[in-house]
Structure 1
């Protein structure tokens, strides 16, 4: 099993209880590589904010585009999947600065044009605003939702 990084917070209580909570988290989510200590607010900005509200939505949109490419446009599934995954690896590496490379001029043009269509003005500020995150957490944790 691959090691993963985890984040931990002390929600309330005495500081001495943080270490116990981290130890339990290491057992629950092990094997663990790194443990990051964050505030409750930072945790919420990461999850649900970054990884669920933004990340899951973008990945779901990728799956919808993949399905349309295969089902409606006739590209064989294995070809579309291989193309998508191969390019995503490269695109993630370029975008996060993990490789000394840049997007082609054509890729930059296609991306800029597409982002104007796909994303509303101010979408990122709204999705990662404190108000939106608090509302999202409230909905997720409300047993009636």
Structure 2
């Protein structure tokens, strides 16, 4: 059995979803689906954070928008929601996490990080534009009303 055929050990990571619609443009009055790299609703894994705790940037692993191949990019936490701990078994994700020198956190550490990132991302979304939403807003924080 070769070293490459051995499956990596499962690892606790923080999973999140990309916002379906994000505010864009002057005052955030325009909406765009997902991000440039990820489709709206795509599941991503957080490898780490940086950039100060006021506007946390996160390093992510997920399926890219165009090719559906696994990519690793840095992203503003305001573009993510529903942070949660998850035990990851996918060899592709685990290889990228190991290449990024991600320390394997315990479940409790992943839970604490998920709660912190959810709060910071919500604060970051609210403070980023400092302008009211448009009347027909479908961004993550606005309730969708059938009409």
TM range (shorter): under 0.3
Q: Normalized per residue, which structure has more strand?
A: 2
Taking structure 1 as the reference length, the TM-score comes to 0.20
Which structure has more RCO (C-alpha within 8 Å, separation ≥ 6)? 2
Structure with higher helix content: 1
TM-score, with normalisation over the residues of structure 2? 0.20
